[in-house]
């Protein structure tokens, strides 16, 4: 079977899990009950074995997808030669006071608008990444799929017939199996019906438990879901907007994507809801991104706060503190599960062929065992950003921050795996050192703004000066006067160094910053606005396609440098690569413009939001937003509300 292009998928979810629904009406990916759980449908990773849930016309059709305005409710409209229908997909969100950890459910509503129109439904769940082919049996108003340890119940007002689907080594008897008790069982369920204009059919899939078929109640659930998303979504209300401009709607969509990826129970942001979607087709750069990377923290806090999603920003602030407190700083993992653990050993699923033949398919992520120095800076920066947006830091929290900064004093000159998590030997990556400087700098600012905290400020200031001197001496090319990837490199570029002015290490008009921007444009950027991550070897074979977030970093750096026309032109060029629904993956293939990597990706959408914030500010389209993270002009940290109750000890 053929694979659906990634940009033809929409994402639906409830803060526990995310499903991908294609423009062909097929849900090809759904991990349950959480986004980091094993899959119920995984046709996106193996079109033959993975399992799917498809609802669509039987005749040849064209389709268009859209989200209902300012929601994550997805509509797919099919049109055939003789009819038309719209399929509405959504996952209800738990209301306030309900358990955020309740079993999720997928609702599908099919409305016939022109007809008669013959439609079909195919339900082929394959639990545990298609390692567990369930037994499917009929119920009073649908079917139940029972695996070794899982259960899914599909209710519908379309008559479903149990059959045996294509399940690899499992039999393929189209008529199913009839045991001695007369109950037909199989490995799939199908239905076909002819609908007249105005007819509606429902499909309600509950994970772990049945949801009674009640169309009137389902309509209420749909209305409640629409209201939930619209009440949450950023709304300018006719006033000044921090993301004003022609990109406003895409920025709002990015915030909705980010909300989909924020776990309702813990506030953790998963990098993407998928695993092993390849960075290049047929290659091995296939990773599991269903976890929370610390390095997303500071920019997530800023984007959420600027769009007035303060509850989510506060939850992330508390999550960052929790990460700090639960580990010795020297042993802190750079990535966590959405529930806070690090028990996700990287494994290969050999039985799945991978998206378009891109093997291996991996679950878990070996980055949990890497030493990545940049995360210390990103953690402290996230805490600092939270404080300057008004989140109070209690005196009990200060020892956690102090220990983190103290560790940076001791460990900043160690080699590490870096932001790109290379699988070569550790190096002295310049960006990692810049973030060590950031940890020290923001730790000092937090301590100076507070009364009565215990902080060895002189020791921290000395270390900050040492890190800065080392970066400027060993991290800048003598030939080009631009930042290099690692200490000792003659002239190797790294797009992460575009963040040097963003974190305030150097001002945007510094010659070294300006030359880094220019070198990035000359050597890492494409004519269409895309930007590769770095030059040099990373220990992996295959193509390193341009990274979406790198392009947004370039936009931000240009905006800060006052090169607003260039920034705007590049920003608008990148936005053209967004899917018809406004979704972005990890990377883009410059040859065909197709999305690559896990999809949709939080980091790409965070990059879009922050790019829009900086560009809107630079072009004067709204009230000024905060200056570059921590630079002159930033909101002051209020010592009366941030940290209280400790005696000062300046060593």
pLDDT digits (tens, 9 = 90+) for 88-146: 999 999 764 455 556 789 999 999 999 899 999 999 999 999 999 999 999 999 999 99
Distance CA 436, CA 425 (A): 20
pLDDT digits (tens, 9 = 90+) for 20-55: 999 999 999 999 999 999 999 999 999 999 999 999
Give which of 382, 383, 351, 394 is closest to 646, Cα–Cα: 394
| Residue 625, pLDDT above cutoff 60 | no
- For range 418-429, the mean pLDDT: 88
Q: What was the pLDDT predicted at 239?
A: 63
Q: What was the pLDDT predicted at 254?
A: 96
Q: What was the pLDDT predicted at 185?
A: 74
Q: What was the pLDDT predicted at 641?
A: 37
Helix or strand run (H / E) with residue 255: helix 248-260
In this structure, what token pair is assigned to residue 418?
């870096």
Q: What was the pLDDT predicted at 541?
A: 76
- For range 155-179, the mean pLDDT: 65
Q: What was the pLDDT predicted at 227?
A: 96
Grade residue 391 by pLDDT with cuts at 50, 70 and 90.
confident
- Rounded to the nearest 5°, which phi and psi values hold at 441? -65, -45
Q: Are 148 and 132 in contact (CB under 8 A)?
A: yes
Question: Where does the chain hold its CATH 2.70.98.10 domain(s)?
Answer: 6-231
Q: Is the dihedral of CA 518, 519, 522, 524 positive or negative?
A: negative
Note every long-range contact of 511-519, with CB atoms under 8 Å and residues 24 or more positions apart, other chains counting.
Answer: 511/481, 512/472, 512/476, 512/481, 512/482, 512/483, 513/557, 513/561, 514/561, 515/480, 515/481, 515/482, 516/482, 516/483, 517/554, 517/557, 517/558, 517/561, 517/563, 518/482, 519/480, 519/482, 519/493
- What is 242-618's CATH topology? Glycosyltransferase (1.50.10)
Question: Any idea which architecture 6-231 has in CATH?
Answer: Distorted Sandwich (2.70)
**Percent of the chain with pLDDT strictly greater than 90:** 70
| Residue 188, pLDDT above cutoff 70 | yes
DSSP code, position 476: B
- For range 412-417, the mean pLDDT: 95
Q: What was the pLDDT predicted at 238?
A: 55
Mean pLDDT of the chain: 89
Question: Where does the chain hold its CATH 1.50.10.10 domain(s)?
Answer: 242-618
Q: What was the pLDDT predicted at 650?
A: 36
pLDDT digits (tens, 9 = 90+) for 53-90: 999 999 999 999 999 999 999 999 999 999 999 999 99
pLDDT digits (tens, 9 = 90+) for 199-239: 999 999 999 999 999 999 999 999 999 999 999 997 776 56
Distance CA 429, CA 373 (A): 9
Higher pLDDT, 311 or 461: 461
């Amino acid at each position: 079977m053929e694979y659906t292009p990634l940009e033809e998928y929409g994402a639906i979810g409830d803060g526990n899990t995310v499903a991908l629904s294609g423009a062909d009406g097929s849900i090809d990916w759904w991990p349950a009950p959480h986004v980091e759980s094993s899959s119920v449908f995984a046709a996106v990773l193996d079109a033959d074995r993975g399992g799917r849930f498809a609802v669509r016309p039987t005749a040849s059709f064209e389709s268009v997808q859209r989200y209902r305005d300012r929601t994550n409710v997805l509509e797919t409209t099919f049109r055939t030669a003789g009819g038309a229908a719209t399929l509405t997909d959504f996952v209800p969100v738990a209301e306030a006071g309900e358990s955020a950890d309740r079993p999720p459910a997928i609702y599908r509503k099919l409305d016939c608008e022109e007809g008669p129109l013959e439609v079909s439904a195919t339900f082929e769940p394959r639990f545990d990444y298609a390692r567990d082919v369930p037994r499917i049996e009929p119920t009073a108003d649908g079917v139940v799929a029972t695996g070794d340890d899982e259960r899914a119940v599909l209710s519908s007002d379309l008559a479903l017939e149990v059959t045996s689907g294509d399940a690899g080594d499992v039999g393929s008897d189209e008529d199913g199996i009839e045991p001695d008790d007369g109950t037909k069982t199989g490995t799939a369920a199908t239905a076909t019906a002819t609908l007249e204009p105005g007819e509606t059919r429902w499909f309600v899939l509950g994970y772990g438990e049945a949801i009674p078929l009640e169309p009137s109640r389902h309509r209420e659930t749909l209305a409640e879901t629409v209201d939930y998303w619209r009440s949450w979504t950023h709304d300018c209300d006719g006033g000044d907007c921090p993301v004003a401009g022609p990109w406003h709607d895409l920025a709002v969509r990015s915030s909705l994507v980010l909300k989909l990826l924020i776990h309702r129970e813990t506030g953790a942001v998963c990098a993407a809801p998928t695993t092993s979607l390849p960075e290049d087709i047929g290659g091995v750069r296939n990773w599991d991104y269903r976890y929370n990377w610390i390095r997303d923290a500071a920019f997530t806090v800023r984007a959420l706060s600027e769009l007035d999603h303060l509850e989510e920003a506060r939850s992330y602030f508390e999550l960052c503190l929790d990460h700090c407190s639960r580990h010795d700083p020297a042993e802190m993992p750079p990535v966590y599960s959405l529930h806070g653990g690090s028990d996700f050993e990287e494994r290969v699923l050999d039985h799945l062929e991978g998206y378009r033949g891109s093997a291996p398919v991996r679950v878990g992520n070996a980055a949990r065992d890497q030493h990545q120095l940049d995360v210390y800076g990103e953690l402290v920066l996230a805490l600092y950003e939270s404080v300057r947006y008004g989140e109070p830091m209690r005196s009990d929290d200060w020892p956690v921050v102090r220990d983190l900064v103290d560790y940076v004093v001791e460990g900043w000159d160690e080699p590490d795996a870096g932001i790109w998590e290379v699988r070569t030997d550790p190096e002295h990556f310049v960006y990692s050192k810049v973030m060590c400087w950031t940890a020290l700098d923001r730790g000092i600012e937090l301590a100076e703004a507070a009364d009565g905290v215990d902080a060895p400020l002189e020791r921290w200031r000395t270390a900050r000066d040492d890190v800065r001197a080392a970066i400027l001496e060993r991290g800048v090319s003598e030939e080009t006067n631009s930042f290099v990837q690692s200490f000792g490199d003659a002239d190797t570029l790294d797009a992460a160094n575009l963040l040097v002015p963003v974190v305030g290490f150097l001002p945007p008009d510094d010659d070294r910053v300006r030359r880094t921007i220019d070198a990035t444009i000359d050597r890492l950027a494409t004519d269409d606005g895309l930007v590769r991550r770095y030059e040099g070897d990373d220990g992996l074979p295959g193509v390193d396609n341009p990274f979406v977030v790198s392009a947004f970093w370039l936009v931000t750096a240009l905006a800060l440098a006052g090169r607003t026309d260039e920034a705007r032109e590049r920003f608008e060029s990148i936005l053209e690569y967004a899917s018809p629904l406004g979704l972005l993956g990890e990377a883009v293939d410059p040859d065909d413009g197709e999305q690559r990597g896990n999809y949709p990706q939080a980091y790409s959408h965070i990059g879009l939001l922050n790019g829009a914030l900086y560009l809107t500010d630079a072009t004067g389209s709204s009230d000024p937003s905060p200056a570059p993270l921590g630079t002159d002009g930033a909101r002051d940290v209020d010592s009366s509300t941030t940290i209280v109750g400790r005696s000062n000890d300046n060593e």
